[in-house]
């Protein structure tokens, strides 16, 4: 543990220097976030990270997808309002029933009418996603961060498959070689399983660049604790509103049932995160936008497809499309590799980039 702490301390210093010294990209890229925020708290971390980096992400739409979509939208709306981002439209995806959402009590008293009264937009999610994809061009693509079951995206692609040619998609999706809790056997991953036909459409589409996935093989290890997590604890004050919103939500989620969720390492709001599956996809999208590299990740280009049972399988004989998947880490100690991702995300949340507002 001492070796990990020292390595992590040095990594934090290095990433902090990169964060403050690296030049910003010329312009942020148009981004759609498709999220099922509220059930697990990893969507929360992904959204807060995206909002902290307006130099990378021009967030055009946050879509609340699957189950209790109005309630998911309430969570998104309160976050956007609290962080002065009423400008970001919220799309309501179609609901397919009810689901227990431990994070919902944090936003239960916040009305979507309040969001609209302040100038916010609540719109049909599928139509809004379609409109944004139609605006994309090969030289100005739309980036889709898919961290929910791909209900709306699948519907769009089944009807308008060529729209993918001008878009880039990064998804928290699949299980290539290993399953939940680092099982040596692949499993049916949740986002795929909730809507298999939509996932098949996403994997089969002719994206501008090959589909990129953050599967269970690496996301299982995205738990951030110790010195790294303590940075959030010490920054939890009014001078750090992004951190405040994050940790407030995390505590509510944990107290209302999140503490029973599975993870490889123990977790609590006082000691570290639960499994942060989704932020990895957001982080990887930022790397594509900034023309950076996937530090610490081991990527593999595979002929992946989703079978009718929801497994993500590699089989070149079926001539599926190439998918770039994060199937491991460059280090033999996966938590060390995950901490590189976590360090950059936490630094961004602690020190959000000031948004430039076009007043023309």
CATH 1.10.10.1590 fits 2-21+30-350, yes or no: no
Three-class secondary structure assignment of the chain: CHHHHHHHHHHHHHHHHHHHHCCCCCCCEEEEEEECCCCCCHHHHHHHHHHHCCCCEEEEEEEECCCCHHHHHHHHHHHHHHCCCCCCCEEECCCCCCCCCCCHHHCCCCCHHHHHHCCCCEEEHHHHHHHHHHHCECCECEEEEEECCCHHHHHHHHHCHHHHHHEEEEECCCCCCCCHHHCCCCCCCHHHHCCHHHHHHHHHCCCCCCEEECCHHHHCCCCCEHHHHHHHHHCCCCCCHHHHHHHHHHHHHHHCCHHHCCCCCCCECCCECCCCCCHHHHHHHHHHHCCCCCCCEEEEEEEEEECCCCCEEECHHHCCCEEEEEEEECCCCHHHHHHHHHHHHHHHHHCCCCCCCCCC
Of the two residues 49 and 21, the one the predictor is more confident about is 49
**Cβ of 288: how many Cβ atoms within 10 Å?**
18
Q: What is the pLDDT of residue 316?
A: 80
Q: What is the pLDDT of residue 330?
A: 93
Predicted confidence band of residue 356 (pLDDT cuts 50, 70, 90): confident
Domain ranges within the chain, ordered by starting residue? 2-21+30-350
Q: Is the pLDDT of residue 15 over 50?
A: no
Category of 299 on φ-ψ map: left (φ > 0), alpha (ψ -120 to 50) or beta? beta
Q: Is the pLDDT of residue 107 over 50?
A: yes
| Predicted TM-score (pTM) of this structure | 0.92
pLDDT over 70 percentage in the chain = 92
pLDDT tens digits along 215-242: 999 999 999 999 999 999 999 999 999 9
- Give the closest residue to 146 by CA, choosing from 205, 49, 30, 62: 62
Q: What is the pLDDT of residue 309?
A: 97
Predicted confidence band of residue 294 (pLDDT cuts 50, 70, 90): very high
pLDDT over 90 percentage in the chain = 87
pLDDT averaged over every residue in the chain: 92
Q: What is the pLDDT of residue 320?
A: 85
**Cβ of 259: how many Cβ atoms within 10 Å?**
13
Q: What is the pLDDT of residue 26?
A: 65
Describe the crossing of helices 279-289 and 42-52 by its angle, rounded to 10 degrees. Answer: 30
C-alpha dihedral sign at 121, 125, 128, 133: positive
Describe the crossing of helices 226-234 and 334-350 by its angle, rounded to 10 degrees. Answer: 10
Instruction: Tell me the pairing of strands 122-124 and 142-147.
Output: unpaired
Q: How far apart are CA 63 and CA 76, in angstroms?
A: 9
pLDDT tens digits along 112-163: 999 999 999 999 999 999 999 999 999 999 999 999 999 999 999 999 999 9
Q: How far apart are CA 73 and CA 128, in angstroms?
A: 14
Q: Is the pLDDT of residue 1 over 60?
A: no
Q: Is the pLDDT of residue 6 over 50?
A: no
Q: What is the pLDDT of residue 358?
A: 63
- Give the closest residue to 121 by CA, choosing from 79, 71, 61: 61
Q: What is the pLDDT of residue 207?
A: 98
pLDDT tens digits along 248-262: 999 999 999 999 999
């Amino acid at each position: 543990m001492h070796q990990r702490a020292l390595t992590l301390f040095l990594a934090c210093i290095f990433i902090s220097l990169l964060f403050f010294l690296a030049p910003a990209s010329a312009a942020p890229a148009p981004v759609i976030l498709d999220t099922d925020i509220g059930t697990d708290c990893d969507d929360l971390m992904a959204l807060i990270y995206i909002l902290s980096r307006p130099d990378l992400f021009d967030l055009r739409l946050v879509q609340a997808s699957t189950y209790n979509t109005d309630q998911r939208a309430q969570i998104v709306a309160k976050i956007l309002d609290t962080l002065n981002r009423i400008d970001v439209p919220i799309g309501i995806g179609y609901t397919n029933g009810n689901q227990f959402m431990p994070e919902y009590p944090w936003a239960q008293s916040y009305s979507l009418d309040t969001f609209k009264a302040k100038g916010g937009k609540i719109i049909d999610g599928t139509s809004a996603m379609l409109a944004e994809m139609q605006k994309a061009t090969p030289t100005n693509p739309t980036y889709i961060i898919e961290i929910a079951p791909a209900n709306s995206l699948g519907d769009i692609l089944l009807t308008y498959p060529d729209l993918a040619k001008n878009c880039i998609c990064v998804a928290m999706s699949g299980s290539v070689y290993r399953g939940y809790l680092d099982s040596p056997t692949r499993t049916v991953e949740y986002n795929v399983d909730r809507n298999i036909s939509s996932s098949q459409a996403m994997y089969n589409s002719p994206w501008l660049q090959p589909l990129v996935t953050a599967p269970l093989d690496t996301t299982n290890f995205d738990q951030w604790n110790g010195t790294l997590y303590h940075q959030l604890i010490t920054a939890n004050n009014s001078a750090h509103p992004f951190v405040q919103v994050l940790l407030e939500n995390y505590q509510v989620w944990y107290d209302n049932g999140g503490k029973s969720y599975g993870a490889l390492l123990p977790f609590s709001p006082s000691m570290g995160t639960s499994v942060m599956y989704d932020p990895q996809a957001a982080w990887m999208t930022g790397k594509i936008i900034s023309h950076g590299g996937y530090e610490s990740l081991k990527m593999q280009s595979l002929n992946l497809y989703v079978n009718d049972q929801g497994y993500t399988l590699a089989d070149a004989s079926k001539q599926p499309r190439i998918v770039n998947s994060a199937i491991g880490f460059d280090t033999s100690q996966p938590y060390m590799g995950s901490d590189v991702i976590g360090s950059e995300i936490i630094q961004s949340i602690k020190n959000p980039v000031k948004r430039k507002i076009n007043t023309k």
